[in-house]
Each structure stands twice: as C-alpha cells, then as structure tokens.
Amino acid sequence: MIKVRDLRKVFRVHRKEPGLAASVRSLFRRNWVDKVAVTGSTFDVNEGEIVGLIGANGAGKTTLVKMLSGIIHPTSGEAEVLGHVPWHRNDDFRRQIALVMGQKAQMWWDLPGADCFELLREIYQIPRDQYRKSLERLSSMLGIGEEMTIQIRRLSLGERMKMELIAALLHSPRVVYLDEPTIGLDITTQRAVRDFLLDYRRENAPAMILTSHYMEDIERLCERIIIIRKGDIVYDGSLERVIHEYAPYKQLRLNIHRASTLQPDSEVLEKMGQVVECTPGSICLRVSRAKVPEVAAELLRKYSVIDLSIEDPEIGDTIERIMAGRTGDSE
C-alpha cells in the first residue's frame, strides 16, 4: 500500500544570529543553510499493518509523514501510496488517506463537531447513509455524545483529539497517518485512543503509520517499528527483533538470603557478566543471551538464592540507545 524509495528532503533555512545588529544585517543579507530532514528513506507498509515511526525530536518523522500525505514535495526519491504519487494530490488519493496530528488542531475552531463532520461529509462526498452509520460507530467507540454540539475550541484536549479522530476516519480511509495522536492526553484518554485505534484496525485493516514519543503507544499498537536518526532509517523490523538485535543480553536479578555466609562479590561476578547492581542480598547482572543458562546455574550453585528472575531489557531503553546511536552491549 505504501512504497517509499530513497525519499529525501532538504530544507533551506534562514540562519539568524541573535541580537539587534544581526537583525539589521539580515535585512540586507541572509545566511541560508541546507538542513537535511530526511536522508534517502526506503521502506514498504502493507495493508492492515501499523508501523511505528520512532525518533528523537527533529529526526525527520513528521517530514516523512508530510511527504507521504502529499503536503510537501520531496527533494528527491519516489513514493507511491495506493498507487498514487502523494504530492501530485490526486483527488482519488486524497479521498483514501487521513492524517491526524496531535499537536495541531485540524478542525474548524469556531464550529461544533457536528457542523465540522457535516462539512467533511460534503468534502469527501460520503453518502448520507454511510456517513450516519460511520459517525454513530466512531462516536460510540470513542464515547462522544453531547460534546458533538459544543464548539471545538471549548472542548478539553482529550475531547478534541477524539473529535479529530472521528473527523479523520469518517470517510473510512485506507491509509492513516497518526502524528503523535496521544500527546498531552491523560492516561485514561491515551488508553481509550489506543483501544480505539486497535478496534479500527481490526474492522477496517488500513495501513497505518504512527509517530509517537510514548513507548506504550508503540508497544500496544505496533508490531513493526522504523527508527529514524537524523533523517536516516537505522532500524526497520519487528518490535521483538529489536531486542534480540540491539540488546543481545538479558538481565539476571537475584535476591539472596542476608543471613547467608557467602555474600556477592563484584570481582567474582564480573567474570560472569556486566554488574549492574551488587549489594548484600541483591545482585543484578547483564549477561549475553547465550551464556544465560550457564551463568544462572552457577549463581544458583554459589549463593543461597531466594528468588531469581531473567528479564529482557526495557524495550524503551533499547530504542533510546539506538536513537542516540549507542547500540550493542559493548557499553
């Protein structure tokens, strides 16, 4: 459904030094610099797939989404969404996509939701019957009732986001871009939005691209993630594989009888793996995956263990390390 080949975007930005003198100088001469936002991205997204686009602020996620939704033109490269070049903005293409932006209201501020939806019905030429059913289904899934008759600007952030979601999905798009859809929402609303998106996917099987800084969004919604660092795709694969590929270790956590005569010694433990914690009664070791059974057996033999747990590292930590360019278990 979405094919991206070597897509690249360079922005030309005006660099202005601080201060009055620089402001005056800039009236006569401007300092322009090229800023590479996306460096040759290549990937595909299939029907029914939710792909998480992850990266630090300024990594190029939103720029990529803007190009794929046809808002901006790329500097070079190709993309095809539902068989269309997005930035040609063919009406048939635009009827089948939606973009939700958590940081930017897209509805008419002074109008109640009901009026906005009616206008969208006209814009997308949705048959009345289909519109009514769609609106009822989406609003019941999101628990929207009388809020529909209140001006958008008077609604809470969570209610506004629910309205934005209804507005974006009313025309049953086949491709949905979600740019930080849960940003600023309370935990209950975040959960409601995630559940809603999962239900929507189950019923409609659209291709979805989601950007978010919340790991819970990624873990709940995406099986596959694309990690972007400084405009470059550094990882494209399953959420599960990222752990195996970029965190080839597990954490062994042991609680030991405090009364035991043999207490942990960090010098001994360092021979088994990387010591994360070594206190009387408690050990935490980072051990390569292959050595886990052997090290666990040795620890059980050596110490009087009350409890042993073997854990994968936090996925958020692993992704954060990839985004920061710190990969592998070498650190």
Options 47-55, 123-131, 230-238, 261-269: segment touching other proteins (CB under 8 A)? 123-131
Q: Indicate which single residue of 6, 11, 23, 262 sits in contact with other proteins (rule: CB under 8 A).
A: 11
CA 157 remoteness from chain centre: 20
Distance CA 236, CA 239 (A): 9
- The set of residues, in sequence order, having a beta carbon less than 8 Å from that of 205 and lying 6+ positions away, is 47, 48
Site string for other proteins, 124-143 (x = CB under 8 A): xx------------------
- The set of residues, in sequence order, having a beta carbon less than 8 Å from that of 310 and lying 6+ positions away, is 250, 251, 252, 253, 292, 296
Output 117 or 249, the one with its CB closest to other proteins: 117
- Assess contact for 322 and 234: CB atoms under 8 A: yes
Tokens matching residue 118: 């009616």
Closest distance of CB 12 from other proteins, Å: 8
Output 66 or 224, the one with its CB closest to other proteins: 66
Options 94-102, 203-211, 231-239, 271-279: segment touching other proteins (CB under 8 A)? 94-102
- Assess contact for 195 and 148: CB atoms under 8 A: no
Options 121-129, 254-262, 265-273, 305-313: segment touching other proteins (CB under 8 A)? 121-129
Closest distance of CB 176 from other proteins, Å: 12
Interface with other proteins, residue 94, by CB under 8 A? yes
Output 37 or 51, the one with its CB closest to other proteins: 37
Closest CA to 323 of 114, 53, 96, 87: 53
Output 106 or 260, the one with its CB closest to other proteins: 106
Site for other proteins in 59-88 (CB under 8 A): 62, 66, 69-73
Interface with other proteins, residue 99, by CB under 8 A? yes
Output 8 or 220, the one with its CB closest to other proteins: 8
Tokens matching residue 203: 């019923």
- Assess contact for 32 and 14: CB atoms under 8 A: yes
Output 72 or 275, the one with its CB closest to other proteins: 72
Closest CA to 99 of 144, 150, 62: 62
Interface with other proteins, residue 98, by CB under 8 A? yes
Closest distance of CB 203 from other proteins, Å: 22
Options 51-59, 120-128, 221-229, 303-311: segment touching other proteins (CB under 8 A)? 120-128
Could you identify the residue written with the tokens 């979405």? 2
- Assess contact for 323 and 59: CB atoms under 8 A: yes
Site for other proteins in 43-62 (CB under 8 A): 62
DSSP collapsed to 3 states, 255-295:
EECCCCCCCCCHHHHHCCCEEEEEECCEEEEEEEHHHHHHH
Closest CA to 14 of 26, 1, 3: 26
Tokens matching residue 229: 């660092």
Interface with other proteins, residue 91, by CB under 8 A? yes
Output 164 or 251, the one with its CB closest to other proteins: 164
Options 93-101, 133-141, 266-274, 304-312: segment touching other proteins (CB under 8 A)? 93-101
Distance CA 144, CA 137 (A): 10
Options 49-57, 89-97, 206-214, 315-323: segment touching other proteins (CB under 8 A)? 89-97
Residues contributing to the site for other proteins (CB under 8 A): 11, 62, 66, 69-73, 89, 91-92, 94-95, 97-99, 101, 103-104, 106, 108, 110-111, 115, 118-119, 122-125, 179
